[in-house]
Structure 1
């Protein structure tokens, strides 16, 4: 049985999970329109994740997906953290605020997180995908026993092979054009920066179904990916202007500018964002993810209190200027080949 049939989809269109932006209403609308809606659980507690999954299931009888962050723990480096906070201090001072005295691991990894595993197993989503790496073997086995289709993001052939070796069902090929955080397993490793078509072509010989992600904004883009061998497409930026999405007004406005930058300054991991005051900060020497993000969120909060929206994490892909404000179901139809 093919991937689309296993997931009960009418259209080979998956809505990217987009932690902080995706909502139960968005995931349900996409699934209800014949695609596969997704929830980004990476920034949630197990209790929050359980509630979001329950709300999605209450809104649609259709299958949906969830995504989990599998980053390796980043050891605290007090010297690097002090240096980074000192670099940000003038920006805080601009808003009569002080940077945090210390940084926290605000987003725990899914690796070893039994409470999150239990929440996901109880909700039984149709697909579970992983970002930043892979969970441990016991977690993979437990999710498989629960009946989930398992997928993970790859930015290189090496990562795709690791996904296949772990026994997962599909690879999400995240091209350089994609918005949000790069799924690269080791942020210190060289990033080949392959475009979506080039990465798709490189990953197909691995032997698993490949989901193409990055820069796909319309049916023509979907058809091109499918004709090149993709089993489905995953789109996030195309859904950012949907009324069901939790995209803040400033983020919605920034999309029209059409300028994006890859930066680690906001969170400590490379991510594609609309160009703004935060992306103008050199991202050398960040103290790693997610501790850097603790500082980034604090700076954005201080800026917003003063009416400045230019320090937001306005994640978006290179096609952001082509995003259209319309209900999510209409975007699924517009993306369907």
Structure 2
């Protein structure tokens, strides 16, 4: 059965699972409007994820996606972490704050979290997706045995081949335009930085499983373009950041259409892994930090979150992790359900336009 029919979607659209931005209310509203709503649970534990899933289910009886981070187990490196803290100390001091004495691993990879697996097998959400890599074959088999549809992110053809070989149901082709964390399996490996159009077409041609295009799309015309490339659906994230149900603060939402939205940039300084964000004071810190290598993901994020909290307490919002794709200036503020219906109408208009 085709993927969209299996999930009973009336619109070939996935609302991206943006951890820290997407909420259960957003996911439910997107699903109720005919798309696939998503929540990101990579930054919480099994109890937190269970509560989020329950909240979505209380507001919709439709399919939704639960996204997990499957990054490599971070390696503690006291010397590197101490150098990172020292490098950030002058910026903390600007806001009258002390940096953390030491950095923590603030959340676990799904690969190291048996409690999360047990919870997912118990509650069996309709869809589970993976970012940064794949869990073990036994975990994939266990989730499939519960009837869960599985998705995984690829940033290049090699990752896509691994996803297909693992028995995943569909590939999310993440172009370089996409906001948030780059889903590459190995952040130290060379990145070909393939755009959504080239990557989607490459994966459609090589893969026997469905491809969902992601990266830079903000309206129905983007959805139409992705489908013309052979994708079965488009995944949009930045388009939903300014929605009413978003957990993004008002400064973050306003920044989408400000100067930083026209100059999104990649940085590993915030979390320890490359991610595309609105240009702000935090992304500019790379120059201040010189050649310092950040601690492993997500250890570096502990320092990033502490700096944002210190700056925000003094009224400075430029140290937030304002993840956004290259289409950020096209952002629109409206309720999630209205956004999905607007995207559907725009996509339908493109389909009806004579070629």
**TM bucket, shorter chain:** over 0.9
Q: Distance in 2 between matches of 1:333 and 1:233?
A: 15
Taking the TM superposition and a 5 Å limit, the aligned residue runs for 1:243-322 are 243-257=244-258, 258=261, 259-282=263-286, 284=291, 285-322=293-330
Structure 2 equivalent of residue 31 of structure 1: 31
Would the aligned equivalents of 2:175 and 2:194 in 1 still touch at CA under 8 Å? yes
Per-residue CA deviations over 1:290-312 (Å, capped at 9, x if unaligned) read 00000000100111111110100
SS at match of 1:29: helix
**How far 1:121 moved relative to its partner?**
2.1
Structure 1 equivalent of residue 351 of structure 2: none
Would the aligned equivalents of 1:31 and 1:62 in 2 still touch at CA under 8 Å? yes
SS at match of 2:201: helix
Per-residue CA deviations over 1:130-178 (Å, capped at 9, x if unaligned) read 0000011121111101111101000010100110111101000000010
Would the aligned equivalents of 1:112 and 1:136 in 2 still touch at CA under 8 Å? no
Structure 2: unaligned runs, 5 residues or longer? 348-355
Size of the aligned set, in residue pairs, is 337
State TM-score, norm by structure 2: 0.93
Would the aligned equivalents of 1:260 and 1:274 in 2 still touch at CA under 8 Å? yes
Taking the TM superposition and a 5 Å limit, the aligned residue runs for 1:103-122 are 103-122=103-122
**How far 1:126 moved relative to its partner?**
1.3
Q: Distance in 1 between matches of 2:20 and 2:333?
A: 18
Would the aligned equivalents of 1:179 and 1:318 in 2 still touch at CA under 8 Å? yes
Aligned-residue RMSD, C-alpha? 1.0
Taking the TM superposition and a 5 Å limit, the aligned residue runs for 1:1-337 are 1-204=1-204, 205-257=206-258, 258=261, 259-282=263-286, 284=291, 285-336=293-344, 337=347
